[in-house]
Chain A
Amino acid sequence: MPKHELILLKNMMQPGYGGSLQDYERTGGYQALRKAVGKVPPTEVTMAVMKSGLRGRGGAGFPTGVKWGFLPKDYQGPRYLCCNADESEPGTFKDRQLMERDPHQLLEGIVLTCYAIGAESAYIYIRGELVLAAKILEQAIKDARAAGYIGANILGTGITANVWVHRGAGAYICGEETALLESLEGKRGLPRFKPPFPATNGLYNKPTVVNNVETLANIPHILGRGPEWFASIGSPPKSTGTRVFCVSGHVKSPGNYEMPMGITFRELIYEVAGGMRSDKPLKAFIPGGASAPFLTPDHLDVKLDFESVAAAGSMLGSGGVTVMEEGTPMVWAALRLMEFFYHESCGKCSPCREGSSWLVQTMRRIVAKRGQMEDLETLVDLCKNIEGRTVCAFGDASVAPIMGTLKYWRSEYVTLIQEAEAANLIRPEEIAVRH
């Protein structure tokens, strides 16, 4: 695997780097802000981000500059930036590190984005559990304000950008951008219908941009070193830059690894993360967080970029790669993820609210060796009636583990059911309920 340059994790890999304002400035921090704010027109900043090809790192992969460009040009009222720091996708733990180890990198990205989109207020919506990250960010905001990088009249330019930390309270759905806005408004975190999109009707019904932590952390580097530099990294033209891949599960060295997009799963798992933790071979992996359907060893040479993973029938999503060794019971694995989605369904849409409950109950029966063959049809039927029938993408995500495992490991479901039938473990009262 060729050597490559770290962008987002570079500072924190330096010995002695603590993430303070002085540390960050010493490594060239806030130079992009000094160069751009009040000097380069906001439209040019947006153009540069468009040219860089940067795509959202939260999961959906929408081009960042294009998203900014959707804000109405002639709207005179307030606009908002919301930094989506509600990282809750099982398998993903990169934003936490970006915030705790190098908070000013994120803050510089936030201020530059505020400048580009004309927002005077930014909220960092951080998941409530990350108390330490919230404290570190609050201190960093205080320091950056004292240094003139945040607040009214930034570096004497007359530009205003205020940043606040807003802690969520433990709801995965609030990572969905419209649910995040509802939650920030003090309500239940239920997703809104789209359209209208946040670009025109966002926070407090005002034009709003919602960007992920990793996305925003890239902005200072794009503006500091130029969009062409950024666009040359990774897997151009559509998957540019690096990603912080979170590797978890049965590998020797799990952790966060920043790699150019376009490396293969084989390289990431066997070279970067040290290979399998025991002598057992690889059985399955999840390529992009819990919402991404499972892949098999046959997909090891798929490249980690948006298009290649999609072509393999899954998605790059949040960049969380979870590895499972031979011997991992796949029906159990799918059930564990399903329990997550069942727990986290916000309840707004009936197919997701009711369907996830039925899915969990059916899966639990099968795992407990009390399933019947017809349960497999029921599972597919339920999945089909959830997918595409909900306000947000949560419904689609929640069926991914079951559909993925049914596709590649159907025999494991069948074996469990055959064992149930052989042992005659089905309780009469369950049959009565089902018929």
Chain B
Amino acid sequence: MLKEKYATEIEEIISRYPVRRSALIPLLYLAQRDEGFVSEAAMKEIAGLLRLTPPQVYETATFYTMINLKRVGKFHLQVCKSLMCALAGSDTVIEWVKTKLGIGPGETTSDGLFTLSAVECLAACGTAPMMQVNEDYYERLTEDTFDRILSDLKRDGTCPLKTGPFMWPEPVNAKS
């Protein structure tokens, strides 16, 4: 139960808004953090917390692509396929995933580690091609960096190639 585990956090989230329903997306995120996806039980509980009906929660949850209604892999690879990334070769990145992990968009590896999604614009057009893995961005992907990201993720759960605060192009002085 979310309420027992995160009572203080839930109260804090609800207190940000004068109307309880506004806390809906933040609470869906909380549920997703807890289980990896948003289950029907969680939606019912959130409905109770916000004094909504379960359909009101469901209709909102189903509208947004980032709310996972079914389980995804431990690492959710989201490759941007919009035009700007496509001009820089994002289709090739999707091919790399297919050949190296054996999964296409919407599929999860049999060990449950990786799920691939081909997504629309992630606001990184100047540093394409790119992908988001869970909460982190990886930009200016090459086959070498892509391989390293996969092996680091498998081994360490994270990879130092992830993007820090975004700045592109970098100031000349910062490079030296």
Contacts of A346 in B (CB 8 A): 63
- CB–CB A100/B84 < 8 A: no
Q: Is the CB of B168 within 8 A of A169?
A: no
Q: How far is the CA of A187 from the CA of B55 in the complex (A)?
A: 11
B25 touches A183 (CB 8 A): yes
Interface string of B112-142 (1 = CB under 8 A from A): 0000000111111111100010011100000
Interface residues of A in 345-389 (CB under 8 A from B): 346
Minimal beta-carbon separation of A220 from chain B (angstroms): 20
B145 at the interface (CB under 8 A from A): no
Taken together as a complex, chains A and B put the C-alpha atoms of A149 and B169 apart, in Å, by 31
Is there an interface contact between B86 and A336, defined as CB atoms closer than 8 Å? Answer: yes
Docked-complex contact A186 and B82, CB < 8 angstroms: no
Specify which chain A residues have a CB less than 8 angstroms from the CB of B165 in the assembled complex. Answer: 19, 100-101, 132, 136
Q: Which of A15, A89, A186 contacts B121 (CB 8 A)?
A: A89
Among A85-107, those with CB < 8 Å from B are 87-93, 95-97, 100-101
Docked pose: A339 CA to B50 CA in angstroms: 36
**A: number of interface residues (CB 8 Å):** 65
Cβ of B166 to closest chain A Cβ, rounded Å: 5
* Smallest CB gap from A164: residue in B: B16
Pick from B1-9, B64-72, B100-108 the stretch touching chain A: B64-72
With a cutoff of 8 Å between Cβ atoms, the chain A residues found around residue B66 in the complex are: 128-129, 169-170
Contact residue among B16, B65, B127, B135 (Cβ-Cβ distance under 8 Å from A169)? B65
Using A91-B125, A170-B65 as known contacts, say yes or no to A186 and B169 having CB atoms under 8 A apart.
Answer: no
Q: A328 at interface (Cβ–Cβ under 8 A)? A: yes
Asked if A254 and B19 make an inter-chain contact with CB atoms under 8 angstroms apart, the answer reads no
Beta-carbon contact of A256 and B168 below 8 Å:
yes
State in angstroms the CA–CA spacing of A100 and B88 once bound together: 24
A187 and B21 in contact (CB under 8 A), knowing A132-B137, A250-B87, A337-B83?
yes
> Chain B interface (Cβ within 8 Å of chain A)?
16, 18-19, 21-26, 28-29, 50, 52, 59-60, 63-67, 81-84, 86-88, 119-128, 132, 135-137, 163-169, 171, 173-174
Pairs across A and B, CB under 8 Å, 28 listed: A15-B174, A88-B120, A90-B125, A91-B83, A91-B125, A95-B123, A96-B123, A96-B124, A96-B166, A132-B136, A132-B164, A132-B165, A164-B16, A167-B29, A168-B64, A186-B50, A189-B64, A246-B125, A248-B88, A248-B128, A249-B88, A254-B125, A254-B168, A256-B169, A322-B83, A336-B82, A336-B86, A339-B120
